[in-house]
Structures are given as C-alpha cells and as structure tokens.
C-alpha cells in the first residue's frame, strides 16, 4: 500500500504555518510592547528631567543649589529629582537605587541649612553630600536616556544636556554647586576648623 504523502504533508504544513504565524505575531506584539514601555519611560522620566534642566537660565545654574535648594527655600518648590525618582522608582537603572535613597536622605536633611536669618552650617555635610549625589544621579540618568533614545529612535537630546551639565561641573567647585554665590569660602573654611557637621 502506497502512502499518499500529499495527504500527510498538507496538514503538517498547515499546522506549521499556524504555529509560525502565531510565533511571529507574538514576537511583533512583544517588540511593540517593549517599544511602548521604553517610550513611556522616556516620556515620564527623561523628558521630565530634560524640562527641569532646561529651566536653568544658563550653565551657571546647572547645580544642586539653583535647581533644588534655592527653589525649595525661596518658593517652597518640592525637590524635583526626588519627585521624579519616586514616581518612576521601578523604571530607573537598578544600580541607582541605593544612591537614590542616600540622595533623598541628605537632601531632606539639608533643608535646615537655609532656615533662619543665618545659614546653619551644622547641616553643611548633608548639603554637600546631596549636591554630589545629585550630580552623580543626573549624569547616570542622562547616560541611560541616550541608550533609550536609540532604542525608540528619538533625537538624542540627552547627549547635549550631558555635555552642558558636565561642563558646568568642570567649571564649578563643590562649594559653588551647593552654596549660594554670596557665601564666602573663607567663612566656610573658618567654620569647618571649629565644628564637626552633624551626621
């Protein structure tokens, strides 16, 4: 008895076609889902960051004092970086998680520095640590934003922000990045010789 191979192959081909079609459809759906998630991440985290950085009038104001501390004590504006990170904690790079908690701690504890008629230098250590962590987190987020922009084929705006931010860091010392310009360095050094900041 001869086997009619056409009657055997036809169903197999049909089943394979259905399987391949389903597999390709699943791949497409997964790709579209990942793209939409990356696009959502870019809009909810990185574009919000760009807007805040863009609010600086010029390079001189791209630092913790002018972007966080000054708006907070002069206009009671919340710490924008803490807000953005809190709202997108599950989306930020894992290596930043520990730095985020440290930043929020020091940033919150630096607030009393600006209370009263004179600056309270007992809180300077928190202020300086918050400023340094601010710089680190901003740079890491901008580097990550560059990678995400490539995936979703958006303009690489993060590259320009990163260049400007790093230039600002290079042109300012650590004190300038966390203190008002009117605070004299010799006053800070004189205080540091006599006091140990609270931790």
Instruction: Supply the DSSP symbol for 112.
Output: G
User: Does the structure show a pLDDT above 50 at 45?
Assistant: yes
Distance of alpha carbon 140 from alpha carbon 45, whole angstroms? 13
Mean local confidence (pLDDT), 107-123: 89
Mean local confidence (pLDDT), 160-170: 94
User: Does the structure show a pLDDT above 80 at 188?
Assistant: no
- Write b or e for each residue in 42-74: b if 16 or more Cβ atoms lie within 10 A of its Cβ, otherwise e: beebbebbbebbeebeeeeebbbbbbbbbbbee
Helix (H, G, I), strand (E, B) or coil at 197: coil
Q: Is the pTM of this model over 0.85?
A: no
* Tokens linked to 8: 């055997």
pLDDT of residue 187: 54
Residues in the chain: 199
- Helix, strand, coil: what percent of the chain each, to 5? 75, 0, 25
Contact 178, 65 (CB under 8 A): yes
Residues 58-69 pLDDT 10s? 888 999 999 999
Residues 134-162 pLDDT 10s? 999 999 999 999 999 999 999 999 999 99
Residue 37 banded pLDDT, cuts 50, 70, 90: confident
What is the gyration radius of the CA atoms in the chain, in angstroms? Answer: 26
CA nearest neighbour of 100 among 89, 112, 111: 89
Which residue in this structure is represented by tokens 């400023």? 131
Helix (H, G, I), strand (E, B) or coil at 176: coil
């Amino acid at each position: 008895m001869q086997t009619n191979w056409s009657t055997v192959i036809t169903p197999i081909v049909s089943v394979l076609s259905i399987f391949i079609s389903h597999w390709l459809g699943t791949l497409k759906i997964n790709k579209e889902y990942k793209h939409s998630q990356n696009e959502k991440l870019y809009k909810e985290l990185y574009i919000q960051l760009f807007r805040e950085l863009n609010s600086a009038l010029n390079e001189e104001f791209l630092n913790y004092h002018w972007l966080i501390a000054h708006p907070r004590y002069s206009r009671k504006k919340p710490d924008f970086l803490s807000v953005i990170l809190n709202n997108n904690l599950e989306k930020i790079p894992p290596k930043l998680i520990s730095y985020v908690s440290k930043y929020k701690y020091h940033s919150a504890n630096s607030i009393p520095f600006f209370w009263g008629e004179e600056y309270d230098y007992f809180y300077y250590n928190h202020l300086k640590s918050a400023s340094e962590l601010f710089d680190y987190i901003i740079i890491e987020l901008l580097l990550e934003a560059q990678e995400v922009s490539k995936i979703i084929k958006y303009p690489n705006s993060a590259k320009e922000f990163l260049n400007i931010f790093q230039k600002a860091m290079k042109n300012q010392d650590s004190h300038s990045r966390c203190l008002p310009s009117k605070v004299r360095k010799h006053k800070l050094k004189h205080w540091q010789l006599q006091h140990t900041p609270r931790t």
